[in-house]
Chains A and B, each alone.
Chain A
Amino acid sequence: GAGVSQSPSNKVTEKGKDVELRCDPISGHTALYWYRQSLGQGLEFLIYFQGNSAPDKSGLPSDRFSAERTGGSVSTLTIQRTQQEDSAVYLCASSLGLAGGDEQFFGPGTRLTVL
């Protein structure tokens, strides 16, 4: 079956513009995560969705970042008024939403470059 897909794979934008990143999780996965990975760094948690519960937004770095998940499937991460420090690879992962041992399946990521 299809894995997690993300689009676009690369995005170059100018400082101050808004960008929207898309994630299509594996069908049947109830949990969806967004992470940010800067060059040579680990994964920084951004936001998490589980079923119909309110999302855990505790990792969002500022109010310029928002995300939604429509119909419990596709998710979009929106960054408003982009800044150069937003440049990173944005990874989406989905999982079955198990309480323990919940393996995450990652998408290929979107490489965002803010000029």
Chain B
Amino acid sequence: GQNIDQPTEMTATEGAIVQINCTYQTSGFNGLFWYQQHAGEAPTFLSYNVLDGLEEKGRFSSFLSRSKGYSYLLLKELQMKDSASYLCAVSPGTYKYIFGTGTRLKVLA
């Protein structure tokens, strides 16, 4: 079967660093995506990894290890506006996507 696992909920303090993990088991691998979704809004693209290693984009970084079926999203210098759900999605093949249930992040003042 195809499976993506993420923690359901995380809490962190403003200004801190938080790491959201994602593990996956899929029949194929054509890349891993992270999306941010604020409550009541549509998901928006954050990052894409297809090769092992770290991709950095401002305060956000995403890491991938294909051999371990593992990724994480690292958020630095947390801000209140970062409170949202973070969705991990794997593409097991061209034009196919499987989304995890998302990690709800609460940033406290």
Give the interface of A toward B (CB within 8 A).
Answer: 4, 31, 33, 35, 40-45, 48, 50, 56, 91, 97, 99-109
Specify which chain A residues have a CB less than 8 angstroms from the CB of B96 in the assembled complex: 45, 48, 56
In contact, A45 and B42 (Cβ under 8 angstroms): no
Stretch at the interface among B10-18, B67-75, B97-105: B97-105
Number of interface residues of B (CB under 8 A): 23
Q: Is B50 an interface residue (CB 8 A)?
A: yes
A56 to B93, CA, bound (A): 13
Q: Is B94 an interface residue (CB 8 A)?
A: yes
In contact, B97 and A31 (Cβ under 8 angstroms): no
Give the interface of B toward A (CB within 8 A).
Answer: 4, 30-31, 33, 41-45, 48, 50, 87, 89, 91, 94-102
Specify which chain B residues have a CB less than 8 angstroms from the CB of A48 in the assembled complex: 95-96
- Indicate whether A43 sits within 8 Å of B95 (C-beta atoms), given known contacts A100-B30, A100-B31, A101-B48: no
In contact, B31 and A101 (Cβ under 8 angstroms): yes
Closest 3 A-B residue pairs measured CB to CB?
A106-B42, A42-B101, A43-B99
Contact of A42 among B44, B50, B95, B100 (CB under 8 A): B100
